[in-house]
Each structure stands twice: as C-alpha cells, then as structure tokens.
Structure 1
Amino acid sequence: MKTVLCYGDSLTWGYNAEGPSRHALEDRWPSVLQAELSDGVRVIADGLNGRTTAFDDHTAGEDRNGARVLPTLLGTHSPLDLVIILLGSNDMKPWVHGNPFAARQGMARLLKIVRGHAYPLDAAAPEILLVSPPQLTRTRNIEFAEMFAGGDKGSQKLAELYAGLADETGCGFFDAGSVAVTTPLDGVHLDAENTRKIGEALAPLARVMLAL
C-alpha cells in the first residue's frame, strides 16, 4: 500500500465561497486524486483553513504555522511515499508577510522538514510534490479584499518561485493555476469544478512519483 499525504490550507480543506460552506467530500481535490489512483494507494488529506508555509498567524484558535505542525503529521502517518504540499495563499495576507519570496523561503523550510525528519522505524523520507496555488483575483467581497490586500500581485510570482525551488531541490512541481482559477466570490477559493481539476491534474504526476 502506497501512502500520500496532501498538506495544505483551505484549498485542501475544501472551503466553498458559496454559503460559505465546505465542498462535498467527493469534490475536494485529495478525494478526486484518491479516486484517480489505484486501490493500492491511500490518500490522506490534511487541510487547515488559514495555514501558512512557515509563519505565525495569531488570529485563529488553531496553529496555522505549517512548519510547526508538519513534523507531527509526518510521524503520525509514517511511512509515507509521497507528500504533496499546496500552500502559499495565506502567506499573502499583509499581517502574515505578504511577500512571495518569503513564501518561497517558507516552502523551502517545509522541504527540509520532510527530508530531515526522523521517521519511525527508520522509514525512508517520502518524495515531495510541490504545488503552487492558483493566483488570487480581485473581488467585490470587502472582507476578503482587505484580508488579502495586494495579494493578487504577490501570488502571481509564486509559481515561478516555487518552480525554481523545486528545480534546486529535486522535487516534483505543479502549477495549480494552470488548470484552476479562483472564484470572484472572494478571490481566494475554488468552486467545486476547479478544485476537482487540481485532483485530476495531479494524478498523472503522482503515478510517476509513486512508480505505479
């Protein structure tokens, strides 16, 4: 049995701007990825609304710092064959840092954590597939427009920065913005169709990285 951990934020959790609500389980991209892969693969979805790459956000009750939480999950779900990381949108919030290069540095920290973790029973470190989020878009939703002020421009640089990081570190890379666009309802999240597209697009890459 191969095991895949999908580590992300509200795009992985399945936040639906309509309502707002949560997408049906079958519409969330990790569920679509599971359906696309063979029965010999188990896909674990760990998405938290507001999660950053490696930065604190004290506005919520949960720990949103992705670098602080990741080691626990690696140990919990070990052995792992592949970790798919889709983060960076929340780094664009001005009170987090709002800087795409800082998000790239945060992602680099996550890669080091995955590769350097002391896995139980001396399990090998998993492969890593780095995914850049779809670009933020302008919205008439005042709350989200203020929450991500300037983030639309910053997020446009994430794909290029992440692709360069993946090349430097020998990780897999995929630009989710090549298949999915954020909804104008809030400029950040995905409708059901677009979140499904991410799962469908990641399946061929996952198969190669899992040697299926």
Structure 2
Amino acid sequence: MVKTVLCYGDSLTWGYDADTIGRHAFEDRWPSVLQEALGDQARVIAEGLNGRTTAFDDHLADCDRNGARVLPTILQTHAPLDLVVILLGTNDMKPIVAGSAFAACQGIARLVRLVRGHAWPFDYEVPEILIVAPPVICETANAPFAASFPGGVEESSKLGTLYRDLADELACGFFDGASVAVTTPLDGIHLDAENTRALGRGLEPIVRMMLGL
C-alpha cells in the first residue's frame, strides 16, 4: 500500500529563494526531492507556508501563520496519513513571535500533541511523527532580516539539541537539518537550491525507516 507523508513547515518547505526573492523550481524543493527518492512507494504532500511558526501568532502577517491553530484542519484535509514531518522553529526566533529556542521547542511539543490527540476520521491510525530541526540561522548583511532575527544565530543553534531531546521524550523520529544543509548569507534564513535538495536527500533514509519501506 502506498504510504502518505505530510511535510508541515514554513518557507524552507515552501521553497523560498533568497536569490530571486521568489520560489525555487518545484523539482528543487525538498519535499519534491524526497518524493522523487521514494518513488511510487509514497505520496509526499508539501504543506509549507512562509512565516509559519510552531504555535505562536504573528500579528504582522497577512494570513494565519500559527502552526498549532492551522494543523488540525490540515490533518483532516489529508487524512489518512502514515507520517507527519514537522520542520518549524526558525520563525519562532523572531522576538515579535517568541524569540527563543526553548519557546520553539514547546511549540513543537504542542504540535506533536495535536497530531496524537486529533479526532482522526473513520478510525484512521495516528501517524508517526518526525521532528526536523531547521538549519541554523547564519550572519547576514541583509538589514531587514538581521533586524527581524536579533540573537537568531545563537538561539537557532540550540534547536538541534532541544529537538533531539524532545523527540526522545515523546518517542518521535528526529533529524537535524543542520547536518546536511546550511542557510544562505543572502538573508541568513533560507536555503539555496542545492541545500534544499540536500535536505530532501538527507531525510530519505529516516523517512524510509519510519515508513517501513
């Protein structure tokens, strides 16, 4: 039976391209690379939104970026699911949102609880959950981005350890995005085409293992 994977994330999943201030080609986005690697054994759903947080409001946003508020609707939309991959936390580093790695970790825990406590239709089974720590924010000369993420370099560097411990505590899978991808100094936040592809390639082995493929 074909497995279904939901990739729940922010602009790193959407495919924001800091070079063109647009969107990476479809085939370069990491969910697309993961789909290509898994072939007809799985269906990969890309659910990325620029600016999405784990569980916090962004009152400057033009749409609902609170990941906890939107997630139940998305789960219901795409059910049944075999695996939910959560790649969030970078936007939580903004002081106007939350401003700390600890807060982002709490937000991820909230998302895990939402998946496991969801009222799945038709007695569908609860999917496995893979927590992915985003690549670390880097220094940038881009003034607006640097001003939006003061302290982000230091705080985001804590996400890998915090998320790994949380995954152990909650019996989720874990992958450290910083182990295969680095952010671009063009804005300090996003991934160039090669690094977003690398993220998709890096995720393939653990996704295969968690799906039993």
Q: TM-score, normalised by structure 2?
A: 0.99
1:86 aligns with 2:84: no
C-alpha displacement at 1:203, in angstroms?
Answer: 0.6
Which position in structure 2 is the counterpart of 1:144?
145
Counterpart of 1:89, as a letter, is T
C-alpha displacement at 1:52, in angstroms?
Answer: 0.3
1:73 aligns with 2:93: no
Which position in structure 1 is the counterpart of 2:169?
168
**Distance between the aligned counterparts of 1:79 and 1:6, measured in 2?**
14
1:100 aligns with 2:101: yes
The alignment partner of 1:136 has SS state of coil
Which position in structure 2 is the counterpart of 1:183?
184
C-alpha displacement at 1:9, in angstroms?
Answer: 0.1
C-alpha displacement at 1:171, in angstroms?
Answer: 0.3
Q: What root-mean-square deviation, in Å, do the aligned CA atoms of Structure 1 and Structure 2 show? A: 0.6
**Distance between the aligned counterparts of 1:169 and 1:108, measured in 2?**
8
Counterpart of 2:68, as a letter, is A
State, as a whole percentage, how many aligned pairs show the same letter.
67
C-alpha displacement at 1:58, in angstroms?
Answer: 1.3
Which position in structure 1 is the counterpart of 2:32?
31
The alignment partner of 1:37 has SS state of helix
For each residue in 1:118-177, what CA deviation from the matched residue of structure 2 results, as whole angstroms up to 9, or x when unmatched? 111010110000000000011000010001111111001000000000000100000000
The alignment partner of 1:43 has SS state of strand
5+ residue gaps, structure 1: none
Counterpart of 1:209, as a letter, is M
For each residue in 1:8-35, what CA deviation from the matched residue of structure 2 results, as whole angstroms up to 9, or x when unmatched? 0000000000021100000000000000
Which position in structure 1 is the counterpart of 2:50?
49
C-alpha displacement at 1:43, in angstroms?
Answer: 0.2
For each residue in 1:171-191, what CA deviation from the matched residue of structure 2 results, as whole angstroms up to 9, or x when unmatched? 000000010000000000000
**Distance between the aligned counterparts of 2:19 and 2:39, measured in 1?**
32
Moved over 4 A (4+): none
Aligned residues: 212
C-alpha displacement at 1:46, in angstroms?
Answer: 0.4
**Distance between the aligned counterparts of 2:187 and 2:131, measured in 1?**
25
C-alpha displacement at 1:60, in angstroms?
Answer: 1.3
For each residue in 1:72-95, what CA deviation from the matched residue of structure 2 results, as whole angstroms up to 9, or x when unmatched? 010000000000000000000010
5+ residue gaps, structure 2: none
C-alpha displacement at 1:71, in angstroms?
Answer: 0.3
**Distance between the aligned counterparts of 1:119 and 1:97, measured in 2?**
30
The alignment partner of 1:152 has SS state of helix
